[in-house]
Amino acid sequence: MRNQKLQLLIINSLFAVIIAILAQITIPLGIIPFTGQTLAVGLAATILGWKNGTIAILFYIFLGAIGLPVFQGATSGVGVLLSPTGGFLIGFIFNAAITGYMIEKTNFRPIPAAIANVIGAFVTLVFGTFWLAFQAHLTLHQAFLGGFIPFIIPGIVKAVLASYLGLLVRNRLVKAKLLPTALLK
């Protein structure tokens, strides 16, 4: 049991690092950049499920909040979480929980995994859009136009890619018996 807890801690930490790495892949699009973070969040939820995927996201956000340069553009600090784009980071938590839960309940099947990842991507966008409106003193309409609309198509593409790659990696890890049994339930 102790060995399994250590394995889960290592895997969750590994995914926090993967998110941090993919966060540095950025295409600037105005106030909200297009990053690899959302792909990594989908991968975490798809491979690890709701509980461990969410833990990985929380660990990632914690690392950034305490000052490690893990957020987009190698930034960090509570100020990033409170900035106009901070709502997207907080949305990742709910994205992972909802996506992972839906994927687990549908037994890690491809079509439901893709649907779950798309829903999770929209959850992130909703959190981010509302926070953007609040923090940047925008109307909801302005925030929707700047923080939601431009990210619909990229979000769907990354969600489908996360479900495909996530299930591919998960299935190979299961076959190779490299996932702790706690992740196989």
Q: By CB neighbour count within 10 A (0-12 exposed, 13-18 middle, 19+ buried), where does 6 fall?
A: exposed
Which residues make Cβ contacts (< 8 Å) with residue 28, sequence separation at least 6? Answer: 34
DSSP character at residue 83: S
- More confident site: 23 or 4: 23
CA-closest candidate to residue 93, choices 128, 66, 67:
128
Cβ-based neighbours of 11, under 8 Å, separated by 6 or more: 48, 52, 56, 179, 180, 183
Question: To the nearest whole number, what is the mean pLDDT of the chain?
Answer: 94
Predicted confidence (pLDDT) per residue in 23-70, tens digit: 999 887 666 677 899 999 999 999 999 999 999 999 999 999 999 999
Q: Domains in the chain, ordered, with CATH? A: 4-178 (1.10.1760.20)
Note the pTM of the prediction, 2 decimals.
Answer: 0.93
pLDDT at residue 1 is higher than 60: no
Return the half-sphere exposure (C-beta side, CA atoms, 13 A cut-off) of residue 26.
17
| Alpha helices, DSSP H, located in the chain | 2-23, 37-65, 78-82, 86-105, 110-135, 140-147, 152-175
